[in-house]
Structure 1
Amino acid sequence: MTRVVNVHEAKTQLSRLLAQVEAGEDVVIARRGEPVARLVACKPPGKRQPDVLKGTIAVPDSFFDPLPEEELAAWEGR
């Protein structure tokens, strides 16, 4: 179920709205009846796995070569 609230209510009831979003409810914030934004729950980041790509990516030695002068100038805004 999607709940639509106006900006004033969203400002005064933000903590309650966040709790509802965390519980799985959709919340849309509207200005003068027109939807403007949607509050959505954020997924927690997944657990990092070191070396998950080890052995699948090869970086050539040329990767560490100095950049050509024109490319270096572009990076430095010259």
Structure 2
Amino acid sequence: MREQLRVTLHEAKSQLFQLGARAWRGDRVVITNAGKPYLDLLPHPDTPQARKPGRLKGKIRMSADFDRTPVDVTDGFEGRL
């Protein structure tokens, strides 16, 4: 089971190597400052994820008049209001 670990900035400075190892094992490491979440410690992936063109095909719709600017907006930009 993955664990969420909260540590202060001071603790993170003195235990960075161990915290990094835990992040690589899958634990979520949250570094706090004044009792509030400040940073998340995350492992750096070796290779970037491959782009998948077309993955949103059919999920995005645009209205037929998306490129028409309303007259009041045009008038506002041209100083006619």
TM-score bracket for this pair, using the shorter chain length:
0.5 to 0.7
Between Structure 1 and Structure 2, the one with more helix by share is 1
Question: 1:17 is paired with a residue of what secondary structure?
Answer: helix
List alignment gaps of at least 5 residues for structure 1: 47-78
The residue correspondences of 1:1-78 to structure 2 (distance < 5 A) are 1-45=3-47
Percent identical pairs in the alignment equals 35
List alignment gaps of at least 5 residues for structure 2: 49-81
Q: Kindly report the root-mean-square deviation, in angstroms, between the aligned alpha carbons of the 2 structures.
A: 1.6
What is the alpha-carbon distance in structure 2 between the residues aligned to residue 2 and residue 41 of structure 1?
A: 14
Instruction: Report the residue type matching 2:32 in the other structure.
Output: A
Question: 1:20 is paired with a residue of what secondary structure?
Answer: helix
Question: 1:41 is paired with a residue of what secondary structure?
Answer: coil
TM-score (norm 2): 0.54
What is the alpha-carbon distance in structure 2 between the residues aligned to residue 26 and residue 13 of structure 1?
A: 15
